[in-house]
């Protein structure tokens, strides 16, 4: 500490310098007081044990078996956006409230041009199976399955016309988006079946 005291030029009094340095050392020195984990009881659902090299299908099956007793395993299906295995409400809430890019990108299009844009967009999802893309992903990749394009269109339309009644119906390979009294049809390979008033 004496070497450090020689470099500090705040006072010529060596005792004062040493007092400042000792105070600094006391300030930066930490004695962590960690809890004693040996006496703690953890009530969580336990670890998810996935070993390297396991195939995707095996992992999905394993997690599916844990869903009823393990919240994290259940949430994995929501994170993957598999609408055949989850409640649609969280997905739709995010789709209709948290996807500003597609709204901003289409603000210069009138309603007719907007509808034509989604009719011409390639009917091809970025996700396999029954996993579904969010509206901003559909817009950014300029493609989407029928259910994805219908939800994206609904998101933009509700921003423009918040009072309009919109009903989304997924019926296997056919998706219908009813805006007021007008119906728009999309083809889907997701095989999902559900109806929602948006």
Tokens found for residue 30: 């930490």
Q: Are 124 and 143 in contact (CB under 8 A)?
A: yes
Mean model confidence pLDDT for the chain:
91
| Domains held by the chain: number | 2
Q: Phi, psi at residue 192, to the nearest 5°?
A: -90, 150
42-65 pLDDT per residue, tens: 778 888 999 999 999 999 999 999
82 and 135 belong to one structural domain: no
- 175 and 78 share one domain: no
The parent domain of residue 78 ranges over: 54-86
My answer on whether 140 and 82 are in the same domain is no
Q: Got the DSSP string for 168-190?
A: EEEEEEEEEEEETTEEEEEEEEE
179 contact partners, CB below 8 Å, separation of at least 6: 154, 157, 164, 165, 166
Statement to judge: residues 61 and 110 lie in one domain? no
Same domain, 75 and 170: no
In a domain, 99, yes or no: yes
Nearest to 149 by CA among 158, 159, 166, 137: 137
- Is there a single domain that holds both residue 70 and residue 160? no
Contact 41, 28 (CB under 8 A): no
Task: Mark whether 71 and 119 lie in a shared domain.
Answer: no
Do 67 and 100 fall within a single domain? no
Render pLDDT for 138-153 as a digit per residue (tens, 0 to 9).
999 999 999 999 999 9
Instruction: Answer whether residue 76 is part of any domain.
Output: yes
């Amino acid at each position: 500490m004496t070497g450090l005291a020689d470099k500090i030029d705040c006072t010529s009094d060596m005792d004062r310098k040493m007092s400042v340095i000792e105070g600094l050392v006391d300030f930066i020195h930490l004695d962590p007081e960690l809890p004693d984990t040996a006496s703690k009881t953890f009530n969580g659902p336990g670890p998810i044990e996935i070993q390297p090299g396991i195939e995707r299908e095996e992992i999905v099956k394993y997690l599916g078996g844990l869903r009823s007793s393990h919240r994290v395993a259940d949430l994995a299906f929501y994170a993957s956006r598999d609408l055949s295995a989850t409640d649609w409400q969280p997905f739709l809430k995010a789709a209709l409230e948290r996807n500003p890019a597609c709204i901003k990108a289409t603000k210069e299009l009138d309603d007719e041009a907007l509808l034509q844009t989604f009719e011409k967009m390639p009917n091809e999802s970025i996700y396999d199976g029954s996993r579904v893309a969010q509206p901003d992903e559909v817009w950014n990749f300029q493609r989407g399955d029928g259910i994805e394009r219908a939800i994206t269109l609904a998101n933009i339309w509700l921003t423009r016309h918040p009072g309009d009644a919109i009903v989304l119906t997924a019926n296997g390979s056919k998706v219908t988006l009813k805006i007021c009294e007008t119906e728009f049809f999309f083809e889907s390979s997701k095989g999902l079946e559900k109806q929602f008033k948006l």
